[in-house]
Amino acid sequence: MKFIKSIVFILIKTACFGQSATISLTLPDIAYIALAPDNSAFNLVGTSSSQAGGSITFTSNTTKWINFTSAVALGVTRTITAQITSGSIPSGMTLKLTISPVSGAGSGTRGTNVSTINLSSSTQNIITSIGGGYTGKGSGNGYNLTYELVITNYSQLRAGNTSLSITFTII
Amino acid sequence: MKRLLCLYFLCGAAIDTFSQCSPTISLIGSPLSESPTTFPTSRIGLDYASSELLIDRPSLITIAIANANSCSSWQLSVSRLDNTRNTDLQFWVNKTNDGSSSTSGASISPSGLTTFQEIQTYSQNFFSGVKNRTSIQISYKIIGISVNRRASTYSTTVYYTISGTL
């Protein structure tokens, strides 16, 4: 009887044969940065007081946002730097750049901002520890930038116009 | 004694039939090395436009049975074994056509284009059929593509196993 059972087992057993295919997916490093809404120029205009002895005040600009997309390998982080790459700040003044914390529709590891720097021709870190992530696109997404001119020495002020270029780099 | 002799011949016949029902599978189109298209600058601030990558180079499966009448049917199963840590990446496969067969009585089920099914780390039925079939076209897609995912190469090996039923 046991013999019969084993025959039945052989009858329903199936033969197997296999093949395999390897699929590889490579996700590349990505490091893209843009200014929103655009990288057009803007003016910081000084206005003198209507009162004799009053201070000069400058308009500030908060219209620019840093957008980026970043993909990194294991253990890698990125930094965004800011630097004046053409022109120079008039004597007696400082150009302050304030970076607000990230906001908007992004996702991932979007880094940590420094609060305020005085812009110069040297590169300075403004956002660090960026991993894989994206900020969202357009104004209202990413890191908002505030530019302010501050008078540090009235005796050095001269009337005139000055143009500067500021370059942001993601590395 | 007569009974034993009868069982002996019955067993021999069964083993003989079994040895002929050995469907084999051949696969053309591997390995597949894929990458998303270059990230467009128009998407700065955004993720990839799609989390899915459709691999548009089909692979072809051919199923051959030495003696087509020796098997009543065959079943093809699919599974995968990851070569890298592929957490949250999904690999999917579908059959895009039935290939062809010149053998009388051949069939395949389900027929035609099938919906994508996720390839799991355990064996799952893919499709089945009767008798020989040539150049069944299959395609893959990968889900889970994002800049949030570590930049790296991810790899998996997809295993196809065919079994025949006497």
Query: What confidence score (pLDDT) does residue A33 get?
Result: 98
Band the pLDDT of A55: cuts 50, 70, 90.
Answer: confident
Nearest CA in chain B to A18: B161
The C-alpha of A46 sits at a distance from chain B's nearest C-alpha, in angstroms, of 34
Please indicate whether, in this complex, the C-beta atoms of A71 and B21 are within 8 angstroms of each other: no
Q: Which of A23, A134, A144 to mutate to test the interface with B (most CBs of B within 10 A)?
A: A23
Domain count, chain B: 1
Dihedrals phi, psi of B114, to nearest 5 degrees: -110, 160
Segment A92-144, tens digit of pLDDT: 999 999 999 999 999 999 999 999 999 999 999 999 999 999 999 999 999 99
DSSP helix/strand/coil, A68: strand
Average pLDDT in chain A:
91
- The shares of helix, strand and coil residues in chain B, as percent rounded to the nearest 5, are 15, 45, 40
Looking at the complex, does the CB of residue B55 fall below 8 Å from at least one CB of chain A?
A: yes
The C-alpha of A144 sits at a distance from chain B's nearest C-alpha, in angstroms, of 13
**Contacts of residue A16 in chain B, CB cutoff 8 Å?**
161-163
Question: Where in chain A are the domains?
Answer: 26-170
A68-88 average pLDDT score: 97
Please indicate whether, in this complex, the C-beta atoms of A18 and B162 are within 8 angstroms of each other: yes
Closest Cβ–Cβ partner in B18, B89, B155 for A22: B155
**Contacts of residue A132 in chain B, CB cutoff 8 Å?**
146-151
Band the pLDDT of A8: cuts 50, 70, 90.
Answer: very low
Please indicate whether, in this complex, the C-beta atoms of A142 and B155 are within 8 angstroms of each other: no
**Contacts of residue B159 in chain A, CB cutoff 8 Å?**
18-20
Band the pLDDT of B69: cuts 50, 70, 90.
Answer: confident
The C-alpha of B104 sits at a distance from chain A's nearest C-alpha, in angstroms, of 22
Please indicate whether, in this complex, the C-beta atoms of A12 and B33 are within 8 angstroms of each other: no
pLDDT reading at B51 higher than 90? yes
* Beta strand A165-170 pairing with A57-58: unpaired
Q: Which domain holds residue B39?
A: 2-165
Measured between alpha carbons, how far is A145 from A37 in angstroms, rounded to an integer? 12
Please indicate whether, in this complex, the C-beta atoms of A20 and B160 are within 8 angstroms of each other: yes
* Beta strand A15-26 pairing with B32-34: parallel
**Among A85, A81, A170, A66, which Cα is nearest to A123's?**
A81
**Among B80, B102, B100, B75, which Cα is nearest to B90's?**
B80
Band the pLDDT of B9: cuts 50, 70, 90.
Answer: very low
Nearest CA in chain A to B79: A20
Q: Under a CB-based contact definition with an 8 Å cutoff, are residues B165 and B76 in contact?
A: no
Query: What confidence score (pLDDT) does residue B6 get?
Result: 46
Rounded to two decimals, the ipTM of the complex is: 0.86
pLDDT reading at B52 higher than 70? yes
The CATH number of residue B97's host domain is 2.60.40
Q: Under a CB-based contact definition with an 8 Å cutoff, are residues B126 and B76 in contact?
A: yes
Sign of CA dihedral B118, B124, B129, B133: positive
Tell me which range, A14-18, A29-33, B70-74, is most confidently predicted by mean pLDDT: A29-33
Closest Cβ–Cβ partner in B21, B36, B159 for A18: B159
Looking at the complex, does the CB of residue B64 fall below 8 Å from at least one CB of chain A?
A: no
Q: Under a CB-based contact definition with an 8 Å cutoff, are residues A100 and A114 in contact?
A: no
Closest Cβ–Cβ partner in A20, A72, A134 for B46: A134
Q: Which of A5, A7, A17 to mutate to test the interface with B (most CBs of B within 10 A)?
A: A17
Looking at the complex, does the CB of residue B151 fall below 8 Å from at least one CB of chain A?
A: yes
HEC string for A71-135: ECCCCCCEEEEEEEEECCCCCCEEEEEEECCCECCCEEEEEEECCEEECCCCCEEEEEEEEEEEC
